[in-house]
Amino acid sequence: MAEAKFDGPVLELEDIHKSYATGSEVETEVLHGINLRLQRGEFAALIGPSGSGKSTLLNLIGLLDRPSSGRLLIDGQETGSLDDGALTRLRGRSIGFVFQHHHLIPAFTALENVMMPLLVERGRPDDEMRQRAAKLLDQVGLTAQANHQANQMSGGQQQRVAIARALTMQPSLVLADEPTGNLDTKSADSVFALMREVNVSQQTTFLIVTHDPRLAARCDRIIELVDGTIVSDHVAEVRKQEMPQQHPD
């Protein structure tokens, strides 16, 4: 995707509310007017206690769900007016997902899993997507495992494949839900380092939901959500300059 990317904020939330119908009459509001902006290349952590609305917010940002009110823009594009199909396409192109349980598709090899986002978009496999997937696997250090099925890889390896898969479409924004939650410290560190590297080298924006204060502390920005409201949002300016520039694309 070589075309010029939108220069403004990658993500823009304006007064986002989200309610769920819990009974026939009663509606429970989970998010109470969220305002949030993520610029290109940001590396942000979203923290907060269980039940604070983190997952709900992540689903809204990932276009898996729609807000009850408020404006949500991805790459400057208003999403409220898009129909289901258009939302699916925008999601496929602009957003990469990394989940706690990595969720590789077990019927496919590592390489095929990485190809998958392009495959569902283009409809048929081709050499270009195969090469791109191979390159991404190389980038996450798993060329040797390209033809392994998910169950033939360790948790850390699977999560690296999942990260490669999230990057296949060269998305503006990668959403990671507890990406290291399931991993031992060593694997967690390498997975985090990998995300950081991608962030720096490709200016990909990351929003990482985590319970792990150690991990959050290593992000550039920490957004804290409590009871459906953002209670704190600070930026650590130092971190960004510390990171080495690698693999410029």
Partner 1 sequence: MYPWLPFEWIAATRFLREGRMQSLLIIVGVGVGVSVIVFMSALLSGLQSNLVRRTLSSQAHVVILPPEEVARPQRDSTLGPILQKQAQRLRSIDQWQKLRGRLAEMPEIAAVSPIASGPAFAVRGNANKSVTLIGIEPDNYNRIIALDEKMVAGRLRLNAGETVIGIELAKDLGASVGDKLRINSSNGTTDTLTITGLFDLGNKGVNARNVYVGLRSAQTLLDLVGGVSSIDLGLRDMYAADAIALRIARETGLQADSWIKTNAQFFTALTSQKISSNVIRFFIGLSVAFGIASVLVVSVVQRSKEIGILRAMGATRGQMLRTFLIQGGIVGLLGSVLGSSLAWVFLALWRALALNPDGTPMFMITVEPELFAISAAGATLVGIFSALIPARRAASLDPVVAIRG
Binding-site string for partner 1 from residue 153 to residue 172, where x marks contact by CB under 8 A and - marks none: ------------x---x---
Question: Which residue has tokens 């699916």?
Answer: 88
Q: How far is the CB of 122 from partner 1 (least distance, A)?
A: 8
> In this chain, which of 68, 88, 182, 229 binds partner 1, going by CB under 8 A?
88
Question: Which residue has tokens 């520039």?
Answer: 245
How would DSSP label each residue in 61-121? HTTSS--SEEEEEETTEE-TT--HHHHHHHHHHHEEEE-TT----TTSBHHHHHHHHHHHH
Nearer to partner 1, 94 or 205 (CB): 94
Phi-psi region of 69 (alpha: psi -120 to 50; beta: other; left: phi over 0): beta
Nearer to partner 1, 3 or 127 (CB): 127
Closest CA to 200 of 45, 41, 36: 41
Q: How far is the CB of 236 from partner 1 (least distance, A)?
A: 30
Binding-site string for partner 1 from residue 61 to residue 80, where x marks contact by CB under 8 A and - marks none: -x-xx---------------
CA gap 19, 234 in Å, rounded:
27
> In this chain, which of 5, 6, 40, 55 binds partner 1, going by CB under 8 A?
55
Q: Stretches 38-46, 98-106, 153-161, 228-236: which one binds partner 1 (CB under 8 A)?
A: 98-106
Q: How far is the CB of 195 from partner 1 (least distance, A)?
A: 18
Residues with Cβ within 8 Å of 83's Cβ and at least 6 positions away in sequence, in order, are none
> In this chain, which of 15, 80, 105, 131 binds partner 1, going by CB under 8 A?
105
CA gap 176, 55 in Å, rounded:
11
Residues forming the site for partner 1 (CB under 8 A) = 55, 59, 62, 64-65, 84-85, 88-89, 91-93, 97, 99, 103, 105-108, 112, 116-117, 119-121, 123-127, 165, 169
